[in-house]
Amino acid sequence: MSTPTQLLFDRLLPGSLEALLAGTLGRQVPRLGPDDSFRISTCGRFSGRIAADLLAFAKNQAYDGAFLLLQDDITRVLYLAHGSVVGAESNVLFERLGRVLLRLGHLNADDARHVVTVEESRGSAVAASMLPAEVACIGLDRRAWEVGTSLTFMGTSHFLFVDGTPDLGQLPRLSIAPMDLAIEGVRRYDEWRNAAHKSTAPADEPKADLEAAPHSKPRPAAATHDVRSDVDEIMRLVSE
């Protein structure tokens, strides 16, 4: 069964996405399309396996605009200027600014909850303005890294590139290389995959069982994803 997001892409694109983009991007990306609409230059289906390719595209094209990932009710955004990540947004609770700063130890639980409430109702710029400038910068930078590296973990979803130089208003502008996010995302994915593999590995077979069947053939190793190939591909994309 198709989800509402899939229907928007498969049947109703692009006009029906205007309301979604307006709610997500607001005025932070200019409307460069006809009839004062957002200009979508590229879109398609997304999985974590192509995260590095899309980040490489942004870097190699010195892209100006917003890179959106939509998965059911999850929305993540990387704002790009001249191919660098200058900001990020997410409606995932643990990627909200207040929750990021809580994990970093810069806010207590009550203050973090208040910052999250303000961000959800009035936006990141207002939430950040409530904080000391240095603390806000730390939180926004860490959030961009968390949003960017989470792309490697995303399952089937959809992506959009919405053209136009971002205007983040009073928010501090970051400067993060997209390929740094890609490499870190692959590293975190490999770390998670190996940890998950170890936690589910069966215990060693009893010695008596092994001795009872000395001529039994070893079990074939399960197919695994070689993260080194992903890193090699990322480095190839960077050099193009």
Note the pLDDT tens digit of each residue in 166-190.
Answer: 999 999 999 999 999 999 999 998 8
Does residue 10 carry a pLDDT above 80? no
Amino acid 205: pLDDT: 46
| CA proximity to 76, closest of 164, 176, 153 | 153
Total count of domains within the chain: 1
Q: Are 28 and 168 in contact (CB under 8 A)?
A: yes
On the question of pLDDT at 132 being above 60, the answer is: yes
Domain residues for the domain of 196 are 4-213+220-239
Question: Which residues, 6 or more positions from 104, have their beta carbon under 8 angstroms from its beta carbon?
Answer: 138, 139, 142
pLDDT at 111 over 70: yes
10 Å CB burial of residue 123 (0-12, 13-18, 19+) is middle
Rounded mean pLDDT, 46-58? 92
Predicted pLDDT of residue 25: 94
What is the pLDDT confidence band of residue 164, given thresholds at 50, 70 and 90? very high
